[in-house]
Structure 1
Amino acid sequence: MLRAAVGQIEARGVAAVRIADVAAELGVSNALVLYHFSTKEQLVSAAFAYAAEDDLARLRRLLSRRTTALRRLRSAVRWYAPTGQAKGWRLWIEGWAAALREPALREVARDLDRQWKAAITEVLAEGIAAGEFRCPDPAGTALRLTALLDGLAVQMTAYEGTVSRARAREWVDEALARELGLERSALTASRI
């Protein structure tokens, strides 16, 4: 049910999606969906929580690999970075907008944001401890990187053609290198 709700939100947007759309996608009655989620808001919040858990699980897998902190960090940033394919980002942009009015959804989005930044902060601390790079403010770095990635995603999703994928990747690499006190070439020197 949650996977179907996520698909409908991606296709129609939070404001336009209806319980009936999710039920039709599953070939069940509206009553069955309402049995599990008594309101559209509860369904939407649960769908975003489901999508967030999926994203966080993937992030944890990337960050738990047995390699350098720099490689793990670069992999996570590359995975999270906008690619110009808007499907996944459209969901999160919709969620952020809806979260302005829906407290339950706001809490889901806030929790995802906290967990993402905590995971990035942790791998930054590991890299600092291992002497791989310098970063005087890991929590601030996590916030700045996330803000850059989120902002680029909005530009690339909402205003197609504004920023090319290659240019966005350049900017992300430049920002990451600057935050870590490295030359940009150090990010690719070890085939990260």
Structure 2
Amino acid sequence: MARVRLSVTERRAELLRAAVAQIEERGVSDVRISDVASALGVSNALVLYHFSTKEQLVAAAFAHAAEADLERLRRLLGRRGPALRRLRAAVRWYAPTGQAKGWRLWIEGWSVALREPGLREVTRDLDRRWKQALTEVIAEGAAAGEFACADPGAAAWRLTALLDGLAVQMTSYTGALPRSTMLRWTDEALARELGLPQAALR
């Protein structure tokens, strides 16, 4: 059966989805242009037409994954209702579940970003935008009198640092910490940052 002819935008999106899947399966260091091409049944030349090097493909794949994550975050934080409820939903979504494929992808990305400037910019931008989204909703809730937080930006930094650290531990050392414990700790941290009793989060 002949392949459906895709637009340039559609083809790039298809290649990026395949690249993300291959990175999750093989890791950045072991994934090859040919792996992505083979997964889609296309030539190496087609991949290289859109992304001239593996480094460009990897950075673009992480940016693609980041946009999907940020869109999900925007939907969670953009719902109607109290800021506290939206913040808690975002914090719980951020926690790894099951095989934590998304977290494995980002741990891999952080590691490679130490040596790859292009990927470093992608991961830094995701981190900045995540913190900014949290900061805005914390500020919104504080302004509405839902809770007290004198420095929403600092609160977003501390919450993100805790979540990142716990997620790395849970993803790297399977079974080291029950997810229920991690969620309890994150609720406790969120309550502290917002000057609320933990019971207010239930």
Asked whether the two chains share a fold, i.e. TM above 0.5, the reply is: yes
Which of 54, 77, 86 aligns to 2:100? It is 86
Cα shift readout 1:67-115 (whole Å, capped 9, x = no counterpart): 1111111111111122353211000000000110100100000000010
Match of 1:102 in 2: 116
Match of 2:6 in 1: none
Question: Percent of aligned positions with the same letter in both sequences?
Answer: 76
**Gaps (5+ residues) in structure 2?**
1-14
Q: Please report how far the alpha carbon of residue 135 of structure 1 lies from its aligned counterpart in structure 2 after TM superposition.
A: 1.1
Match of 1:33 in 2: 47
**Conserved? CA contact 1:23–1:33, under 8 Å:** yes
Matches within 5 A, 1:152-191: 152-188=166-202
* Paired AA for residue 31 in structure 2: V
Q: Which has the higher contact order (CA 8 A, sep 6+)?
A: 1
For 1:179 and 1:96, locate their aligned partners in 2 and report how far apart those are by CA, in whole Å. 26
Which of 165, 177, 180 aligns to 1:151? It is 165
Match of 2:134 in 1: 120
Q: CA RMSD in A?
A: 0.8
Larger deviation, residues 75-84 vs 11-20? 75-84
* Paired AA for residue 75 in structure 2: R
Match of 2:4 in 1: none
Which of 25, 37, 49 aligns to 2:63? It is 49
Larger deviation, residues 9-18 vs 80-89? 80-89
Matches within 5 A, 1:48-87: 48-87=62-101
For 1:149 and 1:75, locate their aligned partners in 2 and report how far apart those are by CA, in whole Å. 13
> Which of the two has higher C-alpha Rg?
2
**Conserved? CA contact 1:5–1:44, under 8 Å:** yes
Match of 1:134 in 2: 148
